Structure 1
Amino acid sequence: MQMAGRGEGEGKTVEALPPLAVAFAAGIALARLYLAPVTWLAGFLLVLGSVTLWLGVRRKTVLGPMLAVFLLLGALSLRIAEREIHAPLENFLGRQVVLSGYVHRVQSGDDKRVVFLFQVEQAAFPGEEPAKVRSRIRVSVFRPPAALVLTYGQRLRLSGELVVPPGQRNPGGFNYASFLAGEGVSATFAVGWQAVEILPGRGGYFWLAAAEGARGRVKEALTRWLPPPEAGLAAGLLLGETEQLAVPTEEAYRLLGLTHLLSVSGVHTAFVAAFALLVTRRLRQKLLAAVLAAVLVLGYVLLTGGEAPVWRSAIMLWLVLAARHLGREGDGVRALAAAALLMLFFRPHWLFSLSFQLSFLATLGILLLTPRLQANFSRLPRFLAGPLAVTLGAQLAVLPLQLSLFSLLPLLSVPANLLCVPLVGVFMWLGLLALVAALFSPLLAAPFCLAAYPVLGALNELPNMLAALPFAAVRPPPLPPVVWAGYFLLLGLFAGGVKICWTRPRLVLAALVILNLAVFTPFWGASLGGGSGRPLEVVFLDVGQGLSVFIRTPAGQNILVDAGGGRPGSNFDPGERIVLPYLRSRRVASLDLLVLTHPSEDHHGGMPAVLSGIAVRRFASNGETDDNETFLAVRELLAAAAVPELVLSGGDRLLFGENVVLEVLSPPLEKIRHTVDDVNNNALVLRLSFRDFSLLLTSDAEREALDRLLHQQPGRLSADVLQVPHHGSRRAMSAALLEAVGAETAVISVGRNTYGHPHAEALLLLQQKESAIFRTDLHGAVTIRSDGSGWTVEPQLSPAASDGK
């Protein structure tokens, strides 16, 4: 790239925006992997910036140095953002503090808990003078008053412990700390209502308060004039709020690839822009009309909460309006690159946000693939060719991300979008009219809400009908990265206009051979059997107060023991949020065996999601039943998939290859009865052995069951690694048990609880035996690998693995 005249230089800089945006994003991603100090980054940036400036003055090629400069700028922006987010409160973390500030955004609320983002202005230790700070935290207040209504700007004083949010606690799992950092949040705070004091006055910015008030009036009008299902859907489509959306409808939209309609994005902003331009088109001053349209779009951005997709579409719209006013031809890809640079410069953590990634990938697919696709649809009617090309372009671009994260291929996505997007367009016109009317009075919004009712009914019923079809979506097996590399290569060639001749038999044959090798090679080792030098791998997933253990044998067989469970009163699904993401990250196509140790909510709570999300070849349990909703769902899913079932009892042995044995020690064939807790005492106790290595899984077995084993078969309890029974309950642990097991490593699967797990007496017994203790609440997931003689322990939250004996 040569630096010529002023106009030519500016033009070439604009042309370089896409690679510069990619370099900036790459810098952010690298800075997350490699913690380079800010001073180093700033020093390298100064040197490279000087070299780039010198080359530019001498009219030399500067694209390479500019890419390096933007790479460093991206890395530096993330480092600075992290410092701004975390530094103000770092001295207060993990301690009792008193915080003063105001409510930034209410995220959810009911009679049990209200959750909101809180802008901290002052922080102090109890009894000390407050210090001025500027930071944002996420607050959960339990048992709030029924009449409590929190809004933006409400001043509060909070007393409690400031907690560091957890990072990635499971391999392939959700990084909560990174997610909160994307919202500018540095810490979490959970207190009862007695620790909250309402202060007089208001805080924050008047335009955000105005947007909050407007959003409340719009929601009030929707709730007043529409039935609950349609009102919840209208709030999702118009404002991006899905809190009141019916669960079946939300699931149907997800299965059909329609979730982008519930997240305010380009589709919505385009209708808002068209509405704004329609309102201002009678103005003779085109500049004034464009400015007013831009202001109205900004108002909509603030009204909907300013998430990444709506900012992306708004910035691109503003750039297009500016280009038209200046008499220049707009370029979608460059506008997209400029939007990415602006957004990531101010919010670098957005790069790791799923909504940001999906929004930019879908837009890029529309910009690059739509023209080529439309040319191939020339024989179709124009009213169908255009929407079909746009829908297909977006779907092809987001497909790899969608499959890797959700293992879901929505087969009806294209027809569903073709049917629903026009209906959303009709609703948006009526919804925007209702929105404007509601700003003055909810009564004025009535005719527009009532007119939108049948459209909302169709948008509610149609996706539910399509999602109910057996072929609405499929879950293909995980694919290796090389397949996706080939996929993007083909998309790139297609977008670039390269003609690929598929009619040549040799090319077709070669492509099929390469594809088959790429897909099936990762599974050959498992298919051919044998140890092949692979270790036995056992992963205790961090599912909170529950248990879930993944086992992969040296022959590549996959076993899952239990699947955790949600907290009482919580809608958190560990199967959907923890177990399935882990299995997808390991590219597990199916489970050879799914084991339920006993019918307890904290062990089978995640199983419905697992059974719905991945193929299961065999299911094993102790044969006990329960009548709670989750267990009945497990039974229904097993029956629907015709999964063969095994009822295990003491003395049974399951062989996996030549050297891996899963031995059942308890319960006996005649179940244990009349104890303090028969359900726990009849839990499966399993001994996993691989050559000279062994591991004892005790599940929730308590003293009666374990004492029986100590009395009848103490020699079969010995193991190198012990899963501490019942999350460390003192009713399960005893010195005699530890003596019989002789484990040098102990793993406690435990989370926040009100039972006192793990009990101090249990921990003391382990310490007296000098066992290495690993706890999922402290260490996250715990991975154990053995070659059949020694073993290693690798906790997720520890910087290095610990060697076993």
Structure 2
Amino acid sequence: MPAADDLIVSSYNESGPVVIEAVICEEPESGGRYTSLLMDDIRVTEDGSQVAADGRVLLTTSDPRPFHYGDAVLFRGTLETPRAFDGFDYPRYLALSGVYSTAFQGTLELRPADEPRPFLVQLATANNALDSAVARVLPDPEGSVARSLLLGRRGLLSDDVQDAFVRTGTAHLLAISGLHLGIIVAAILGILLVLLGRSFYLYVWIGLAALWTYAMLTGMNPPVVRAAIMASTFLFAELAGRQKHAPTALAFAAAAMVSLDPRLLWTISFQMSVLAMGGIVLLFHPLRAMLESTSRGLVARAPLDLPVSSLMLDVAAATVAATAAIWPISAGTFSQFSVVGVVVSLLTLPLLPFALAAVALTAITALISTSIAAPFAWTSWLFTTYIVKVIESFAALPWASVSLSAPEPWILVVYYGTLSALPLAWHVWQRRNAGIQPRTDSTREDRRGSALHYALPPLLLTATLIWAAVLSAPDGRLHVSILDVGQGDSILVQSPSGRTVLIDGGPDGRRTCALVDGRRPFWDRSIDVVVATHPHADHLGGLLSVVQRYGISMVIQPAIQCDSTLYEQWRDRIVAADCTVVSAARGQQMDLGDGTLLHVLNPGEMPLSGTSDDLDNNGVVIRITYGDISFLFAADIRAEAERALTGHAASELQSDVLKVPHHGSDSSSTERFIAAVGPRIAVVSAGQENAYGHPHPAVLDRYAAARTELATTCSHCTVEFVTDGAQLWIRNDSPA
């Protein structure tokens, strides 16, 4: 806590509107529609003057502008005291980071920086560039997992993916801690020892350089720096040829950091860093010897005595050592004990260094060219797909984890006492068996130089990628997916030839991109046409992320202006995307290939004005036809636009499938409009238990009276239509 005689920012909690100037002290974390900003260097405006206040403020905002670490901001709003929820002591959790005040929404202004950009801000900028580069070339969820593994951006993951990591006891993978860096160090040393040997300890110096380069790539956040210091103690002990003194060096480093900031003792990242590196220091060599002895018998008849096999043993030993050391803390932190944790860790963690290396190369090359980055991106996709699929498969088991409270102190004493005794037991066993030499097989030694041994892994990798690409190729049918983006609209259209149209992006770009990626080939990072029907947040908000993540050829939007921050950001981003922008008008037509046609039905030549909502009523209405099957996407048009359409384009409205206008609001779906369209199936895109009451009961009655089958995304999740031009099939993602 700040000193008693200092002004504390929390003294303004629940005291009404305040005006503060602050600096964003960590890279903002986006959770979809909202972004969390941690603000420090607080100066409160009182009676026309500014007063410095201790403490930090955590702000949650839906402001779509890109904020970054080091930005100076002016905030106007209300401060609140953090409150506990669902048994979680949220105030204590925030207090460990010096946060005693929270805020929701308010208004923000970017202010000019008072000083030149410091080194850490420049690192954060480089980190953001790497993050954007990976996002452009890797689909989700693999892309978000890759960015989390490489850059520590855990907030990018969906709730389902995060829960899968927690249930399988692998959540520590998503935080850059001592475990993370310990496994990386083990892999680096294994590779360098094979390539360079022990001459002049080059493998240690290069390992140190690689370790701190990686720390800088992640932005040098305090938890990463602490973990890097811990890992460095292990390397310096190796350099001094005194691995037996590594525990002392590790304890000294931990004590030094705690003396500078005693609050570290209660932070999970510090505890995991110390324990993970302690586990590697104490247990690595005994586990490495046991694994080598076990593997020698298992692979005696197999051509697996490769340099990489030694590397895999190093990584596996480091994995087991670090995981064993952090297990009680991890279980207590997440209140779960994973029954499958050890198995999942052994199946995934040995591949972590290779996944990180592939993602790092992907990020760096994508800064230069997405084309150059493509082979690395495909390799990264393969590694991260394997990790995600293994974790999700085990997480789906009903008995994968059990609820668990924090271990009792006596259990911790017994557990860590046993772990500490294992190295001593190993040394005793080693001395007793010092005279026994393992049998060597000269024929296996001769096979070390075989070119096949070196060629086999890349050949298998290439074959797997080719088959993955073949299996994800277009199937010659039209696919129309009304995506479950919550309270908003987003429709993905994929023509038989593979051309794509995305109509709106929903409110949450992260969610929309994940849904789009799940229905696209992993190697295709382009969208042919994006239709922004109108500039409301529940349709346009997600498109801000879409234009950054994909190569967009064309944007179709209404020729109307909107005075909002969101629309300004949209205009800036489509300019930066350097794509063709077309103003929508009735009568426009586009050939999507193989006889798939896109028709624009609204807005008309003269935009509607003076209506209940001109932005809604001048939204872009699209009709897509393929053979005998047609789809009508009615945006958020209201009764006025429906009336205009039935008067001027009635003959063009008839469609088999209708995306219901305005989420099923009672302001739309008039009887005359429904009769003109005559849909067999209508789909409402709306969020579960939304505040607007969509779809309205009266609207449901109208479609029932017209004998139209109705589906909703809030009940059926994503609704997908597939057609060959003659028949129509419907699928949905509902677990029911």
| 1:260-282 residue CA offsets vs partner (Å, 9 max, x unmatched) | 4994412433524777999xxxx
From 683, 687, 709, the counterpart of 2:619: 683
TM-score by length of 1: 0.48
Q: Which residue of 2 aligns with 1:564?
A: 506
1:574 and 1:546 map into 2 onto residues whose CA distance is 14
Q: Which residue of 2 aligns with 1:397?
A: 355
Whether 2:210 is the aligned partner of 1:333: answer no
1:275 and 1:652 map into 2 onto residues whose CA distance is 67
| 1:762-805 residue CA offsets vs partner (Å, 9 max, x unmatched) | 12222333433222223221111112223222221244xxxxxx
CA 1:798–1:765: 2 relative to 1, 3 Å: farther
Larger RCO (alpha carbons 8 Å, 6+ apart): 2
CA 1:619–1:255: 2 relative to 1, 3 Å: closer
From 268, 275, 290, the counterpart of 1:314: 275
**What letter matches 1:596 in structure 2?**
A
**What letter matches 1:334 in structure 2?**
A
Shift of 1:725: 0.2
| 1:629-648 residue CA offsets vs partner (Å, 9 max, x unmatched) | 33333333333343223323
| 1:226-249 residue CA offsets vs partner (Å, 9 max, x unmatched) | x9999xx99xx9xxxxxx999857
Q: Which residue of 2 aligns with 1:215?
A: 96
From 544, 557, 564, the counterpart of 1:608: 544
1:510 and 1:336 map into 2 onto residues whose CA distance is 27
1:352 and 1:773 map into 2 onto residues whose CA distance is 43
Mapping of residues 41-190 of structure 1, within 5 Å: 109-110=58-59, 146=79, 148-150=81-83
CA 1:745–1:323: 2 relative to 1, 3 Å: closer
CA 1:700–1:477: 2 relative to 1, 3 Å: farther
**What letter matches 1:251 in structure 2?**
N
Do the aligned partners of 1:575 and 1:607 also contact (CA within 8 Å) in 2? no
Shift of 1:747: 0.9
Q: Which residue of 2 aligns with 1:409?
A: 362
CA 1:614–1:520: 2 relative to 1, 3 Å: same
CA 1:350–1:748: 2 relative to 1, 3 Å: farther
Whether 2:177 is the aligned partner of 1:265: answer yes
2:449 and 2:480 map into 1 onto residues whose CA distance is 48
CA 1:247–1:747: 2 relative to 1, 3 Å: farther
**What letter matches 2:691 in structure 1?**
T
**What letter matches 1:265 in structure 2?**
S
What fraction of aligned residue pairs are identical, expressed as a percent?
A: 23
| 1:613-656 residue CA offsets vs partner (Å, 9 max, x unmatched) | 11112222222233433333333333334322332321222122
Shift of 1:694: 1.2
2:95 and 2:647 map into 1 onto residues whose CA distance is 70
**What letter matches 2:719 in structure 1?**
V
2:247 and 2:451 map into 1 onto residues whose CA distance is 52
Secondary structure at the aligned position of 2:561 is classed as coil
**What letter matches 2:675 in structure 1?**
E
Q: Which residue of 2 aligns with 1:25?
A: none
Secondary structure at the aligned position of 2:268 is classed as coil
CA 1:709–1:251: 2 relative to 1, 3 Å: same
How many corresponding residue pairs? 481
Shift of 1:541: 1.3
Q: Which residue of 2 aligns with 1:542?
A: 484
Shift of 1:537: 0.6
Q: Which residue of 2 aligns with 1:792?
A: 729
CA 1:610–1:302: 2 relative to 1, 3 Å: same
Do the aligned partners of 1:301 and 1:314 also contact (CA within 8 Å) in 2? no
Do the aligned partners of 2:287 and 2:317 also contact (CA within 8 Å) in 1? no
CA 1:484–1:313: 2 relative to 1, 3 Å: farther
| 1:481-523 residue CA offsets vs partner (Å, 9 max, x unmatched) | 89948999xxxxxxx9965759x9x99x999997996697568
**What letter matches 1:715 in structure 2?**
S
Secondary structure at the aligned position of 2:571 is classed as helix
From 715, 724, 729, the counterpart of 1:778: 715
Secondary structure at the aligned position of 1:797 is classed as coil
Secondary structure at the aligned position of 2:278 is classed as helix
Shift of 1:678: 1.3
Q: Which residue of 2 aligns with 1:67?
A: none
Q: Which residue of 2 aligns with 1:12?
A: none
| 1:506-547 residue CA offsets vs partner (Å, 9 max, x unmatched) | 99x999997996697568x66xxxxx6x32111111222211
Secondary structure at the aligned position of 2:96 is classed as helix
Whether 2:597 is the aligned partner of 1:668: answer no
Q: Which residue of 2 aligns with 1:763?
A: 700
Shift of 1:724: 0.6
Do the aligned partners of 2:487 and 2:538 also contact (CA within 8 Å) in 1? yes
Root-mean-square deviation (CA), in Å?
A: 5.9
Do the aligned partners of 1:211 and 1:303 also contact (CA within 8 Å) in 2? no
CA 1:515–1:541: 2 relative to 1, 3 Å: closer
From 534, 552, 556, the counterpart of 1:620: 556
Shift of 1:707: 1.0
Gaps of 5+ in 1: 1-106, 114-143, 157-188, 190-202, 221-226, 238-243, 279-284, 367-393, 414-468, 489-495, 527-531, 567-572, 800-805
Q: Which piece of structure 1 moves more, 602-611 or 630-639?
A: 630-639
| 1:181-235 residue CA offsets vs partner (Å, 9 max, x unmatched) | xxxxxxxx7xxxxxxxxxxxxx99xxx9999598356999xxxxxx9999xx99x
Shift of 1:698: 0.2
**What letter matches 1:215 in structure 2?**
L
CA 1:246–1:744: 2 relative to 1, 3 Å: farther
Q: Which residue of 2 aligns with 1:645?
A: 581
Do the aligned partners of 1:362 and 1:398 also contact (CA within 8 Å) in 2? no
Q: Which piece of structure 1 moves more, 581-590 or 470-479?
A: 470-479
Do the aligned partners of 2:596 and 2:624 also contact (CA within 8 Å) in 1? yes
1:273 and 1:481 map into 2 onto residues whose CA distance is 27
Q: Which residue of 1 aligns with 2:206?
A: none
From 125, 128, 131, the counterpart of 1:251: 128
Secondary structure at the aligned position of 2:229 is classed as helix
Q: Which piece of structure 1 moves more, 476-485 or 250-259?
A: 476-485
CA 1:323–1:725: 2 relative to 1, 3 Å: closer
**What letter matches 2:533 in structure 1?**
T
